[in-house]
């Protein structure tokens, strides 16, 4: 019996290791191919970059110059960080007000925000991008404002859910002690919102960093973000430089993996918590 | 008392969010709905045409094909992702060695963006098909199963995390009692674990349904609908109608409204089911 259990446990580990290898395999193949000439990538993608096939850093140089990758990376970073910050800042304030102050407007506004969560982007992509052009929002700062508009639904919804569970007495004590509503919010309420804020930040970071269509339709090729830079390599009808493509794919994956390994604890928790609430 | 004091602060707390939300979402949503009943190339030159865009949509072979393709893809991906994710969650609940490493690896693809995922799998699938003289765009079946493979790779880890959270909520005393009573693994699974992870199952089902149904980036990067629109899912079909050629913007907007209504029905169904579950609990 004991032996059988041990054998089963070993079998499980072996099986899981094989699956894990299968999960890592595609990324490894892309990485290996980023050091091969495009001819060898297309004709023998599963061989190592040895001898004649080894392209050195050529693909990276081509990919970076063709897409302006460093700029795209910085731009993605800018848009993601400031959008998430704006969403957290403005929607946490809104959520607190909506929960604490009763009124018809607040109720309607709340339901409209929840409603926006179920509307697919295709429904508004044309009119939204025209509006963005009209209002001069077709630049990275504009993107931050647009993401606030689209991210407000989920974020306010999640903050509202959490705020409802905070006992009113804490805030009333602060008011009696002479706190203005702004002081009460920033000194008393906001620190309590931290767990929800982390969940919202994780979900929105994953969304905004990887978002392709929204920035493509609003800022296009003038201000490429990382996903736009990758898709840009495919271009119109010409053939793709597979070497440059592999290099750019690797460069796009690296920041994500670093972010993941650093914030892994929060990401896993945030995803689990976000799913339960969303 | 607090509410009254706070009321005056409406311009500070609510107005910025409300204005941005109205301009970026609400107004485009309303004008979008209106434009679906018109012909237009820009927002200003719209001419009311009644339901003719909708008539066009429901007789468009590509739209109907994309609809069926998307439905079929959704069914396959929802089942495969959830079965595999649940199996992995069962294997990775508990404290055995290496559990965390495995969880880390399985979740990772989820963080990579759809466009990047599409090109990663294009390389892999074309590499395999190369041996047989095919490429991913030579047959719609390749695109279909390619998308399925990609979607599984991306979503399994995500769903696994949610299932693990659910399984961990099963009280250990009950599991212990079942073990003492000599219940087999499958009895425990069927009678104890499955019923108590029902909320997680509901969440995962709807997450996979909506994500599969609304798939765009992966579709664009992996096949962009090739060959000849035969792997074109709904979201991509709407995009192509808008931006692929001039003069069909009204039809594109009508397709988008239909798409929205289907997604809305799925979401309301989810709300209804989760609401009912919470009442029972």
pLDDT of residue A55: 84
How far is A75 from A86, CA to CA, in rounded Å? 16
pLDDT of residue B89: 94
pLDDT of residue A20: 95
* CATH superfamily, domain at B52-280: MetI-like (1.10.3720.10)
Cα separation values, A178 from A28, A184, B53, B103, B198, Å: 60, 9, 60, 49, 48
B210, pLDDT greater than 60? yes
Domains of chain A: 2-61 (no CATH), 68-234 (1.10.3720.10)
Interface test mutation site (partner A, options B3, B6, B30, max chain A beta carbons within 10 A)? B6
Name residue, tokens 């044309």.
Answer: A126
- B154-185 pLDDT per residue, tens: 999 999 999 998 998 888 888 888 888 888 88
Instruction: Tell me whether residues A264 and B104 touch, CB distance under 8 A.
Output: yes
Instruction: Indicate the domain borders of chain B.
Output: 2-35, 52-280
- A25-72 pLDDT per residue, tens: 999 999 999 999 988 888 888 989 888 888 889 999 999 999 999 999
pLDDT of residue A6: 84
Chain B residues near residue A46 by CB distance under 8 angstroms? 127
Instruction: Tell me whether residues B120 and A30 touch, CB distance under 8 A.
Output: yes
Q: Does B115 touch chain A (CB under 8 A)?
A: yes
- A100-123 pLDDT per residue, tens: 998 999 999 999 999 999 999 999
Contact yes or no for A69/A251 (Cβ under 8 A): yes
A271, pLDDT greater than 90? no
| Chain B (121-150) residues lying within 8 Å, Cβ to Cβ, of chain A | 121, 123-124, 126-127, 130
pLDDT band for A278, please (50, 70, 90 cuts): very low
- A165-217 pLDDT per residue, tens: 999 999 999 989 999 999 999 999 999 999 999 999 999 999 999 999 999 99
pLDDT of residue B278: 56
pLDDT of residue B280: 54
Contact yes or no for B36/B257 (Cβ under 8 A): yes
Residue of B nearest to A173 (CA): B2
- B7-62 pLDDT per residue, tens: 889 999 999 999 999 999 999 999 999 999 999 887 778 889 989 999 999 999 99
Ordered DSSP codes for B199-254: HHHHHHHHHHHHHHHT--HHHHHHTTT-STTTT--HHHHHHHHHHTSTT-HHHHHH
């Amino acid at each position: 019996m004991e032996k059988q259990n041990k054998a089963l446990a070993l079998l499980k580990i072996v099986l899981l290791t094989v699956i894990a290898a299968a999960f890592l395999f595609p990324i490894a193949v892309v990485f290996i191919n980023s050091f091969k000439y495009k001819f060898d990538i297309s004709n023998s993608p599963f061989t190592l970059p040895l001898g004649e096939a080894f392209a050195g850093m050529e693909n990276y140089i081509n990919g970076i110059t063709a897409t302006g990758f460093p700029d795209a990376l910085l731009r993605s970073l800018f848009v993601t960080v400031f959008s998430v910050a704006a969403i957290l800042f403005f929607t946490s304030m809104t959520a607190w007000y909506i929960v604490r102050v009763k009124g018809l407007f607040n109720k309607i506004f709340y339901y409209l925000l929840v409603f926006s969560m179920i509307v697919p982007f295709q429904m508004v992509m044309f009119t939204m991008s025209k509006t963005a052009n009209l209002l001069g929002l077709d630049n990275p700062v504009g993107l931050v404002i647009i993401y606030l508009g689209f991210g407000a639904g989920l974020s306010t919804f999640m903050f509202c859910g959490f705020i409802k569970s905070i006992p009113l007495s804490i805030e009333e004590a602060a008011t009696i002690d002479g706190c203005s509503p702004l002081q009460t919010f920033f000194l008393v309420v906001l620190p309590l919102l931290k767990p929800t804020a982390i969940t919202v930040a994780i979900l929105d970071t994953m969304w905004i960093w990887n978002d392709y269509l929204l920035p493509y339709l609003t800022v296009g090729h003038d201000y490429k973000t990382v996903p736009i830079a990758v898709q840009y390599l495919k271009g119109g009808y010409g053939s793709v430089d597979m070497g440059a493509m592999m290099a750019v794919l690797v460069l796009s994956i690296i920041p994500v993996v670093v972010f993941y390994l650093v914030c892994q604890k929060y990401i896993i928790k945030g995803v689990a918590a976000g799913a339960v609430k969303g | 008392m607090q509410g009254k004091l706070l009321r005056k602060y409406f311009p500070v707390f609510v107005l910025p969010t409300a204005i941005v939300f109205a301009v970026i979402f609400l107004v485009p949503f309303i004008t979008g709905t209106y434009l679906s009943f018109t012909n237009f190339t820009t927002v200003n030159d719209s001419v009311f045409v009644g339901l003719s865009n909708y008539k066009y949509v429901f007789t468009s072979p590509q739209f109907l094909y994309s609809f069926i393709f998307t439905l079929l893809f959704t069914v396959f991906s929802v089942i495969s992702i959830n079965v595999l994710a649940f199996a992995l969650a069962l294997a990775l609940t508990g404290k055995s060695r290496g559990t965390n490493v495995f969880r880390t690896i399985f979740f990772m693809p989820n963080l990579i963006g759809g466009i990047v995922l599409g090109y990663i799998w294009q390389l892999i699938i074309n590499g395999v098909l190369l041996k047989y003289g095919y490429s991913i765009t030579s047959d719609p079946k390749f695109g279909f199963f390619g998308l399925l493979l990609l979607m599984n790779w991306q979503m399994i880890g995500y769903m696994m995390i949610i299932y693990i959270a659910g399984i961990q909520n099963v009280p250990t005393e009950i599991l212990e009692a079942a073990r003492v009573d000599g219940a087999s693994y499958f009895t425990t699974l069927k009678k104890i674990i499955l019923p108590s992870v029902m909320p997680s199952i509901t969440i995962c089902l709807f997450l996979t349904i909506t994500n599969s149904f609304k798939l765009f980036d992966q579709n664009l990067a992996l096949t962009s609908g090739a060959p000849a629109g035969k792997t074109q899912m709904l979201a991509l079909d709407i995009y192509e109608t808008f931006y692929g050629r001039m003069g069909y913007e009204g039809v594109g907007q009508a397709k988008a409204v239909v798409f929205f209504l289907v997604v809305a029905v799925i979401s309301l169904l989810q709300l209804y089911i989760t609401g009912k579950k919470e009442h029972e609990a």
